[in-house]
Amino acid sequence: MSHQDFQERFGLYYRSPLMREVVEVIQQVAVTDITVLIQGESGTGKELVAQAIHGLSSRASKKLLSVNCGAIPEGIIESELFGHQRGAFTGAVESRKGYFELADGGSLFLDEIGELPRPVQVKFLRVLETKEILRIGAETVSKADVRFITATNKDLNLEVSKKKFREDLFYRLRSVMIELPPLRKRKEDIPLLVNKFITDFCFRNKIDRIRIDDRAYDLLIEYHWPGNVRELKNAIESAAALNKTGILTSEDFEKNLITSLQTSSHRNLPVHLNKTTEEAERGLILSALIEIKKDLVELKTVLIKDGKEVQTEDHPVSIKEVQKEAIKNALIKTHYNKKKAATVLNISLRTLYRKIKDYSLNLRED
């Protein structure tokens, strides 16, 4: 398949030699049944690559199931993947198929594989090796005809050295590893992507073609894109949506990109993901306190400016309220990108999902 056809069929656009190489590997491995590991920073296109691999395989007419391992609570992930027999544990009133069985005949995309709890990792390795599944509480195994596509935005090598990820599973997965380069290492793709996203936006909204001036172009090429293609797409879409003149200028982008810069500077804070619940809670409280301190500093500046005296009152605030505020703020700041929000908050993605549920924070999807 030519690069042109590939781009149109899978909506994955590129021009850089780095991505051309990646796509050649994708086409080569797609037709086999081999397990693939896609590694790349958030927003580099891992989901699109998984779809392309499935779409080019002999299983294309069957289902591609997607499971985000980081979003399933640790306590139920094994039963979600492997299924269970009736009575296997309290609450298992009926037998249920897990994702491995549901994907039978097709492909299963296991996203955020680095978040798979260690005890489940060993069981997954067995599935890869034997192609057999043992539901929780079952006595006999069932066959699984599944093609596995896995992805991670973590450096699994590092996770292995921290004993968070099993070495044997890592070796098994990395035998076919597709590394998606971050956007800042393939800047040749930026002009093509910019034009593509503008064209799509105008087409979808039935408006005349919006142009973009040279300075804005330069800014977009210069910028380091910590959120990669997703961030570029969001930046173009919000600039285009707010634009009134028909020409995008650098001012149309500066505000958004600066917000992202602030977000990325948070990344320099020590990150302790995957900690125990107690540590995660502490992280949340800490980031909430940092927020409060920032607010206080701002408040003081305002008060000093007005030359007024500060009169403070003691309002006891519950930890729950503080956490809820911190989560809300983080989600708003990261444009509802849960992964970024979790990094900013210094908690794991799983804890974030749990908190959103616990606090009934009814928020937009990613």
Ligand X SMILES: Nc1ncnc2c1ncn2[C@@H]1O[C@H](COP(=O)(O)OP(=O)(O)OP(=O)(O)O)[C@@H](O)[C@H]1O
For Mg ion, the closer CB: 47 or 281: 47
Which residue, judged by CB position, is nearest to ligand X in the bound state?
45
Which of the choices ligand X, Mg ion, none does residue 166 contact, using the CB cut-off of 5 to 8 A by kind? none
Q: What is the DSSP string of 187-209?
A: TTHHHHHHHHHHHHHHHHTT-PP
- In this chain, which stretch among 44-52, 113-121, 248-256, 280-288 interacts with Mg ion, using CB under 5 A? 44-52
Which of the choices ligand X, Mg ion, none does residue 239 contact, using the CB cut-off of 5 to 8 A by kind? none
Q: Does 101 bind Mg ion (CB under 5 A)?
A: no
Question: Closest distance between ligand X and the C-beta of residue 25, in Å?
Answer: 15
User: For residues 138 and 355, what is the distance between their CA atoms, to the nearest angstrom?
Assistant: 33
User: For residues 319 and 167, what is the distance between their CA atoms, to the nearest angstrom?
Assistant: 39
User: For residues 318 and 326, what is the distance between their CA atoms, to the nearest angstrom?
Assistant: 13
Cβ atoms of residues 45 and 98 within 8 Å: no
For ligand X, the closer CB: 42 or 329: 42
Which of the choices Mg ion, ligand X, none does residue 84 contact, using the CB cut-off of 5 to 8 A by kind? none
For Mg ion, the closer CB: 42 or 243: 42
Bridge-based pairing of strands 83-84 and 211-212 is: unpaired
Question: Closest distance between ligand X and the C-beta of residue 47, in Å?
Answer: 3
Q: Does 283 bind ligand X (CB under 6 A)?
A: no
For Mg ion, the closer CB: 164 or 338: 338
Q: What is the DSSP string of 273-322?
A: TT--HHHHHHHHHHHHHHHHHHHHHHHHHHHHHHTPPP--------HHHH
Which residue, judged by CB position, is nearest to Mg ion in the bound state?
47
- In this chain, which stretch among 79-87, 135-143, 227-235, 267-275 interacts with ligand X, using CB under 6 A? 227-235
Q: Is the dihedral of CA 153, 156, 159, 161 positive or negative?
A: negative
Question: Closest distance between ligand X and the C-beta of residue 164, in Å?
Answer: 18
User: For residues 234 and 231, what is the distance between their CA atoms, to the nearest angstrom?
Assistant: 5
- Between CA 292 and CA 299, with CA 296 as vertex, the angle to 5 degrees is 135
Residue 268 identity (one-letter amino acid): N
Q: Does 263 bind ligand X (CB under 6 A)?
A: no
Instruction: Copy the structure tokens of residue 243.
Output: 């634009």
Cβ atoms of residues 178 and 50 within 8 Å: no
- In this chain, which stretch among 89-97, 141-149, 229-237, 287-295 interacts with ligand X, using CB under 6 A? 229-237
Which of the choices Mg ion, ligand X, none does residue 341 contact, using the CB cut-off of 5 to 8 A by kind? none
Window 174-213: residues binding ligand X (CB under 6 A):
193
Q: Does 47 bind Mg ion (CB under 5 A)?
A: yes
Instruction: Copy the structure tokens of residue 335.
Output: 């444009």
Q: Does 45 bind ligand X (CB under 6 A)?
A: yes
For ligand X, the closer CB: 7 or 259: 7
Cβ atoms of residues 56 and 30 within 8 Å: yes
Window 332-361: residues binding ligand X (CB under 6 A):
339
Q: Does 47 bind ligand X (CB under 6 A)?
A: yes
- Interface residue with ligand X, options 153, 287, 346, 351 (CB under 6 A): 153
Q: Is 152 helix (H, G, I), strand (E, B) or coil?
A: strand
Site size for ligand X (CB under 6 A)? 18
Question: Closest distance between ligand X and the C-beta of residue 141, in Å?
Answer: 32
Question: Closest distance between Mg ion and the C-beta of residue 340, in Å?
Answer: 13
- Which DSSP symbol is given to 333? H
| Whole-Å CA distances, 88 to 202, 289, 303, 366 | 54, 43, 62, 35
Q: Does 48 bind ligand X (CB under 6 A)?
A: yes
What mask of x and - would describe binding to ligand X in positions 4 to 43, judged by CB under 6 A? -------xxxx-------------------------x-xx
Cβ atoms of residues 136 and 88 within 8 Å: yes
- Which positions touch ligand X (CB under 6 A)? 11-14, 40, 42-48, 153, 193, 229-230, 233, 339
- Which positions touch Mg ion (CB under 5 A)? 46-47
